[in-house]
Amino acid sequence: MLAETALANLPRDRMIVALDFSSVGQAEKMVETLGDSVVFYKIGLELAYGGGLGLAERLIAAGKQVFLDLKLHDIPNTVERAAAQVGQIGASLLTVHAYPQTMRAARKALLGSNTKILAVTVMTSYDDADLSEAGYALGVSDLVARRALQAREIGIEGLILSAEEVAAMRALVGPEMLLVTPGIRPAGDAVGDQKRVVTPAAAIRAGADHLVIGRPVTQSADPWRAAQAITEEIAGALR
């Protein structure tokens, strides 16, 4: 079931296409190709550093929704000021790392705005071995759960996490929080550098609100058709 704070209700609104390009020109060409088949876009670090914040403003002015995947994490004052800037742009979603100081600072900056915060629990390219190598005592599942509860207590609107954790996290945090899942691959697609991947239908059935999908759409021979097929798969999972 879609969380009460979700941003949309139609199947195509559940899909967020990742504009993982190095230039604004490439991203704009993809947006033009996709046309009305996509209404929600993600701009991550690569594109943000290449002029993507201006593109975000233009997309919002054109009636699209934008997810700024900036994964903020710094001293509280810096996070607060940066999050406030994102609020002025009018992005629908912003990611911050799920450290309590960071989440509190972003929450303070965006309280009352239309920008919702997603806490990054554990990156989808990490598995238990990666966390151990980085010095964490907890494995993926336990660390995701701990950070999810901290985010809920602080008042963060949602989480970005692997679809493999969605069902457990929905039961843990309840229906109010948005659950947004990257690492989505239609059946048969290559997984690339992602270690925890799930199909669109499986993610929706598990309780995800929005799916972040990049390469299966943007690197397809026919991006418009690929986006339509994923929307149809989402619609089927919602029935």
List, by residue number, the catalytic residues: 71
| Burial bucket for residue 101 (CB in 10 Å: 0-12, 13-18, 19+) | middle
- Three-class SS state of 146: helix
Query: Hey, what are 10's tokens?
Result: 């139609």
Place of tokens 């997603």: 118
Task: Say how far apart CA 139 and CA 91 lie, in whole Å.
Answer: 32
User: Closest Cα partner for 21 from 234, 214, 162, 200?
Assistant: 214
Tell me how many helices (H) and strands (E) the chain has: 11, 8
DSSP designation for 52: I
* Sequence letter at residue 145: A
